[in-house]
Structure 1
Amino acid sequence: MRPGLYQLIDALDGEPALVLGRRTDVLAANRMAKALFADFDGMPREERNYARWIFLDEGARSLFADWSDQARAAVESLRFEVGRDPHDKATTALVAELRERSRDFDQWWEQHRVHQRTHGSKRLRHPLVGDLTVDYESLALPGDPDTMLYVYTTAPDSSSRQAMDILASWVAAGPGGQPSRSES
């Protein structure tokens, strides 16, 4: 990833931001994204994948109040990825692993639904700040069509915004640092 992209997600200090590559590989996450979702840097490099995390990590299952909706969206996004490059061995291996290890994934994969989500909402039950809803926008990065920036926000003056502000103050009080620089 370009250094400027790390600087951009770091500048979004009060809002969670993720950079995903092909197959939903997590390439970078700012401190807020790690606090809201998971510390992807703490995972082995080969496991830093959003779809793998949502299906195989119990923390993800309990975090999302709408887990089945989010998990199905991950399946549909992977189907979209397979359609773009059906011979990509890494994508094929990821799909095979998820089909073997997750009954839900295997069931939804068989439905052959394809969809690329560019915006939406996620309902969370965060262990530190409680229930909140985040909206996301995904932004394609010119010059790198395989990389997407996801920025998560909350409605102004909402209980979700209050929860996000509490999370931001918790992150600010914790150890400092730069956004994660996951090697792909």
Structure 2
Amino acid sequence: MNSRDEVRQFLSTRRGRISPQQAGLETFGGRRRVPGLRREEVARLAGVSVDYYTRLERGNLTGVSDSVLDAIARALELDRAEHDHLYDLARTANMTGRKRATAPAPAGVRSELQYLLDTITGAPAFIGNNRMDIVAANTLGYALYSDMYRSTARPANHSRFIFLDPRAHDFYPDWERAANTNVAILRREAGRTPHDKGIAELIGELSMRSDEFRMRWAAHNVRRHYAGTKLFQHSVVGLLELNYQVLGLDDDPGHSLTVYPATPGSSTEEALKLLASWAVTVNIAEVVSAHAPSR
């Protein structure tokens, strides 16, 4: 990705979504050529000159201070994820020295992490990397995402499944939400690690093969994704309403642990027990490893 283009498009799309009324600005009639704020209005709200803000929106964040970034974030009403993304873009703009692609992500995880996953027996759990791959899981984790493993592509990848596998439309009752969230997370990760070759290749592949992905990528939305509730329509046990918690793994950069506990006493808790029994019956570990890695 071109960093200057990223800055330009991110700032312009954020500016375009805010009306003068939302920003508390008076308007004096006349036809406006832009749907949201004008550059001079953002500059006024941020307390910087129009020329300086124009320079920023043209993609030049070199030397910009944290105080100015914070002022721009307030003017554009950025949420926490967007604020962080703006900082990531500025950090990239101010990097010195030769840019190098990030080393390929490990194919698996440390044995201690797999032991940790295996101790989680009442909830699906998996470890993923910043390229949307599942790199390890417990038995229920593999069972939950068994449809993803019907494909021969390895490693199993959330983004490829959502945008390239028709089964995803059945697996996610609200496919639109899942697709929007996935792209927003991927763009945030791309901003945090702009020279990651694996992320760049994934974005390029999906942009070539999926109109749905390309349309969402152009929106420049970003999102934090650490806790909440998700719905899955599993082909074996039906509807699952699962809570999720995502924990970063500090000693394994770019990796995180996701756990999906069910609400105690809920129908989903009972469905997870059935899923666990099914996983043992079909030997889900063999299903997962049935095809040799093709990537």
Same fold (TM over 0.5): yes
**Correspondent of 2:280 among 169, 172, 180:** 172
Distance of 1:78 and 1:147 partners within structure 2: 13
Q: Contact conserved, 1:76 with 1:113, CA < 8 A, in 2?
A: yes
Query: Higher relative contact order by CA 8 Å / sep ≥ 6: 1 or 2?
Result: 1
Q: What is the SS of the residue equivalent to 2:143?
A: helix
Structure 1 SS opposite 2:198: helix
Q: 1:84 to 1:112 in 2, by over 3 A?
A: same
- Give the whole-Å Cα distance in 1 for the aligned partners of 2:189 and 2:172: 23
Aligned to 2:117: 9
Matches within 5 A, 1:119-158: 119-158=227-266
Which range is displaced more, 164-173 or 62-71? Answer: 164-173
Q: Give 1:175 deviation, angstroms.
A: 2.4
CA distance in 1: counterparts of 2:240 and 2:156, whole angstroms: 24
SS of the residue 2:167 aligns to:
helix
Work out the number of aligned pairs and report it: 182
1:32 aligned residue: 140
User: Is 1:44 aligned to 2:153, yes or no?
Assistant: yes
Shift of 1:32: 1.0
Aligned CA distance change for structure 1 residues 43 and 163 (closer, same or farther; 3 Å):
same
* Other-structure match for 1:58: 166
Q: 2:128 aligns with which of 5, 20, 25?
A: 20
Whether the 8 Å contact between 1:16 and 1:32 is mirrored in structure 2 is yes
Once the two structures are overlaid, the 10-residue window that deviates more, 123-132 or 30-39, is 30-39
Equivalent position of 1:103 in the other structure? 211
Q: CA deviation at 1:89?
A: 2.0
How far, CA to CA, are the matches of 1:112 and 1:99 in structure 2? 14
Shift of 1:177: 5.0
Letter of the 1:44 counterpart: A
Tell me the residue number matched to 2:20: none
1:144–1:174 distance in 2 versus 1, CA, 3 Å: same
Give identity over the alignment, percent: 36
CA contact (8 A) 1:41 1:48 kept: no
Shift of 1:88: 1.9
Match of 1:159 in 2: 267
Please identify which structure carries the higher strand content: 1
- Unaligned ranges ≥5, structure 1: none
Q: 2:220 aligns with which of 99, 112, 116?
A: 112
Tell me by how many angstroms 1:61 deviates: 1.9
Q: Distance in 2 between matches of 1:86 and 1:151?
A: 27
| 1:92-128, Cα deviation, whole Å (9 max, x unpaired) | 1111111121111111111100112011221111111
Distance 2:194 2:283 in 1: 42
Structure 1 residues 76 and 173, CA gap change in structure 2 (3 angstroms): same
Q: CA deviation at 1:156?
A: 0.9
Structure 2 runs not aligned, ≥5 long: 1-108
Moved over 2 A (4+): 38-45, 172-178, 180-184
SS at match of 2:253: strand
CA 1:103–1:127: 2 relative to 1, 3 Å:
same
